[in-house]
Amino acid sequence: MAKWWQEQIVYQIYPRSFQDSNGDGIGDIPGIISRLDELKNLGVGILWLSPVYSSPNADNGYDISDYRNINPEYGTMADMDELILQCRRRGLRLIMDLVVNHTSDEHKWFQSSRDKDSPYRNYYIWRPGRPDGSPPNNWTSFFAEDCWEYDPKSGEYYLHLFAKKQPDLNYQNPEVIEEVKEIIRFWLDKGISGFRCDVINILFKESLKDGKKKLALTGSEHYISREGTHAILRRLKSEVLNNYDCFTVGETVFVTPKMGRELCDKARGELDMIFSFEHMETDQLFVKWFKKKFRSRPFALSLAKWQNALEWPAVYLENHDQPRSVSRFGNDQKYWKESAKMLAVLLLTLRGTPFLYQGEEIGMTNFDYTSMDEIQDVESHNVYALAKKLHIPSWYRWRMMRLVSRDNARTPMQWDASENAGFTSGKPWLAVNHNFISVNYQDEKNDPDSILNFYREMILLRQSSSPLKFGKFKAFCITDKIFAYGRKYKGQTVFICLNMSDRYTDADICRVTDKRCSGLSSQNLLISSYSGVTETTEGRHTAGICRT
Ligand code: TEU
Ligand code: CA
């Protein structure tokens, strides 16, 4: 029997950039409530909120200073309760971000732990420096800086795998696990339906020995998906999560198919789904900051591999850490609409639960920054500074920011063509993309041929098709233009064909489709990203779905 979270589409909200209700330029919970009808109308069934907890915002809420309170910028606990209620009234489920690899350095546990005699000392990973005073080991952080910070108060270093305002919790200490169990209970008792678990496969640091020197993340072999983490996840599930009607999706960095299978194995009982990263790495050289030209073949090969590696994948093309998909895997100029629709078909026809990120449904694009002042993200600033230190030329540093900065996905949601795109009546915390006049929700709502309405249609199609929801995945053709695959369920197959290129591909599409479903024709075509069948078989950045 399918679970409810296998039948619904998840919509990710980045609260800071979704909808401001009081003119302070920052999105908030009342703003989210005011847009619930729109989301319901789009057809999504589950909302995932990026963190709204108390936070000094060193990493936009991924640095939590109180797990049981709401950041006043976003509202109050009463607003949160109202959001839970309003979601329930509309039959929408709500999940939250569980960020427990680290806390904020402003969390009271950490503040107290700076004192060597504090009962909280052992909540974090404190170590003396080496005899020469240098940090305890050679590890490097996710955010291009050292991952040990010296604290003069106690004369020792603490570990932080992300920013220095994000000290890592110590999972060798069972009290930390008890705290996390309580946090999970607190929110599930309030009526939410699960968690997206931030960097959840790195909780347990097996040892603090020096790591093998690497271009990025030296030391990671000591904490990626170690047995200690598996054991913690089993406890969280059997002792808490199993008592609720909820699910978890793990953000699992550097996960391999084998690790992924272990993390999601029903019998082991750890997580329900995971986000893998491999398809998001197929357009990079070594690390994400060095991009190479996007090619559909390696991208599709990776997607296909993961489709069959896991029993039930979490499928995504965007989130708050990634550049916009239409700018990255499509063509956000000449074939903007076509490629955004083609990506909609991809997202909504793969096997697994689709995760749609705010703005993706209207084809929001990367931002055209003109200076570093327009970028807020801590990771971008750290990388920019490091690149400068390494004498990477300034034009290339810019290229890195323009193509990769996480702020590409964090510009305010473009609701309409009014000032600040209808996001705020004040000054937005991060500039609005200049293209909001032509790319916005309201105009697309009124245009039957829009990306938004195409998403709506695609969601309906998926929801009404057993093969699209539950069918087995099989790749038929993967080239540098074409990604064609089938979804088969109880003898019924739906065939999906994407042309991911700027080039004319009539021949390829026909050859592939001819064999499987005698070509795309008006009789068997279920949906097409172009308006007519002829265009579907001849267009650039096309997608068609047909019945066999
Ligand atoms: O991200 C973890 C992660 O590894 C990356 O995707 C990260 O965003 C970065 O790009 C590494 O180069 C999660 C959250 O999604 C992210 O927003 C947080 O900043 C991070 O954890 C720390 O909590
Ligand atoms: Ca606000």
The domain spanning residue 209 has which CATH number? 3.20.20.80
Distance from residue 199's CA to the centre of ligand 1 (Å):
7
Question: Based on the domain organization, do 96 and 117 belong to the same domain?
Answer: no
**59 ligand 1 Cβ < 6 A:** yes
Q: Assess if residue 460 is contained within a domain.
A: no
Question: Based on the domain organization, do 25 and 139 belong to the same domain?
Answer: no
The domain spanning residue 512 has which CATH number? 2.60.40.1180
Instruction: Give nearest CA residue, ligand 1 atom 14.
Output: 198
Q: List, in order, residues 6 or more apart from 314 with CB less than 8 Å away.
A: 249, 273, 274, 275, 352, 353, 355
Distance from residue 384's CA to the centre of ligand 2 (Å):
29
Question: Based on the domain organization, do 128 and 188 belong to the same domain?
Answer: no
Question: Based on the domain organization, do 199 and 348 belong to the same domain?
Answer: yes
Could you tell me the sign of the dihedral formed by the alpha carbons of 401, 406, 407, 409, in that order?
Answer: positive
Q: Assess if residue 463 is contained within a domain.
A: no
Question: Based on the domain organization, do 155 and 187 belong to the same domain?
Answer: no
Ligand nearest to the CA of 199: 1
**Residue keyed to tokens 């795309």:** 520
And the tokens for 212? Answer: 């093998």
Concatenated DSSP letters for 103-119? --TTSHHHHHHTSTT-T
Residue 335: φ, ψ to 5°: -115, 35
And the tokens for 315? Answer: 């499928």
Whole-number pLDDT of residue 537: 47
Domain boundary among 118, 135, 159: 159
Question: Based on the domain organization, do 119 and 84 belong to the same domain?
Answer: no
Domain boundary among 452, 487, 518: 452
Question: Based on the domain organization, do 54 and 191 belong to the same domain?
Answer: yes
Q: Assess if residue 178 is contained within a domain.
A: yes
**Strands 247-251, 353-357: pairing kind:** unpaired
Question: Based on the domain organization, do 89 and 128 belong to the same domain?
Answer: no
Domain boundary among 421, 452, 483: 452
And the tokens for 535? Answer: 């265009």
Helix (H) or strand (E) holding 333: none
Domain count, the chain: 3
Atom of ligand 1 nearest to the CA of 162: 22
Q: Assess if residue 498 is contained within a domain.
A: yes
Choose one of 12, 101, 198, 380 to mutate for the ligand 1 pocket test, by most ligand atoms within 8 angstroms of C-beta.
198
And the tokens for 400? Answer: 């890195």
Asked if 26 and 49 touch (Cβ cutoff 8 Å), the reply is no
Cα distance between the two ends of the chain:
26
Integer CA distances (angstroms), 465 to 356, 511, 534, in order:
19, 25, 24
Q: Tell me, yes or no, if the pTM score tops 0.90.
A: yes
Distance from residue 73's CA to the centre of ligand 2 (Å):
6
Interface predicted TM-score (ipTM) over 0.90: yes
Question: Based on the domain organization, do 205 and 304 belong to the same domain?
Answer: yes
**357 ligand 1 Cβ < 6 A:** no
Q: Tell me which residue range forms the domain holding 510.
A: 471-547
Asked if 299 and 309 touch (Cβ cutoff 8 Å), the reply is no
Question: Based on the domain organization, do 193 and 249 belong to the same domain?
Answer: yes
Ligand nearest to the CA of 425: 2
Question: Based on the domain organization, do 491 and 391 belong to the same domain?
Answer: no
Asked if 533 and 545 touch (Cβ cutoff 8 Å), the reply is no
Instruction: Give nearest CA residue, ligand 1 atom 11.
Output: 142
**d(Cα 45, Cα 6) in Å, to the nearest integer?**
11
**62 ligand 1 Cβ < 6 A:** yes
Ligand nearest to the CA of 27: 2
pLDDT tens, per residue, the chain with 548 residues: 899 999 999 999 999 999 999 999 999 999 999 999 999 999 999 999 999 999 999 999 999 999 999 999 999 999 999 999 999 999 999 999 999 999 999 999 999 999 999 999 999 999 999 999 999 999 999 998 889 999 999 999 999 999 999 999 999 999 999 999 999 999 999 999 999 999 999 999 999 999 999 988 999 999 999 999 999 999 999 999 999 999 999 999 999 999 999 999 999 999 999 999 999 999 999 899 999 999 999 999 999 999 999 999 999 999 999 999 999 999 999 999 999 999 999 999 999 999 999 999 999 999 988 899 999 999 999 999 999 999 999 999 999 999 999 999 999 999 999 999 999 999 999 999 999 999 999 999 999 999 999 999 999 999 999 999 999 999 988 988 889 899 999 988 888 888 898 876 654 454 555 454 444 555 567 777 776 555 454 556 777 777 76
Instruction: Give nearest CA residue, ligand 1 atom 10.
Output: 321
Residues known to be catalytic: 198, 251
Asked if 485 and 468 touch (Cβ cutoff 8 Å), the reply is no
**d(Cα 393, Cα 147) in Å, to the nearest integer?**
26
The domain spanning residue 141 has which CATH number? 3.90.400.10
Q: Assess if residue 529 is contained within a domain.
A: yes
Q: Assess if residue 466 is contained within a domain.
A: no
Instruction: Report residues near ion ligand 2: CB below 5 Å.
Output: 20, 22, 24, 26, 28
Instruction: Name the β-bridge partners of 149.
Output: 158
Instruction: Name the β-bridge partners of 482.
Output: 499
Residue 13: φ, ψ to 5°: -105, 130
Question: Based on the domain organization, do 343 and 393 belong to the same domain?
Answer: yes
Whole-number pLDDT of residue 510: 46
* Nearest partner of 525 among 515, 508, 513, judged by Cα: 513
* Nearest partner of 543 among 335, 274, 355, 290, judged by Cα: 335
| Cα angle, residue 275 at apex, residues 229 and 178 outer, rounded to 5° | 30
**How many residues are there in the chain?**
548
Whole-number pLDDT of residue 499: 86
And the tokens for 170? Answer: 């110590």
**d(Cα 271, Cα 383) in Å, to the nearest integer?**
32
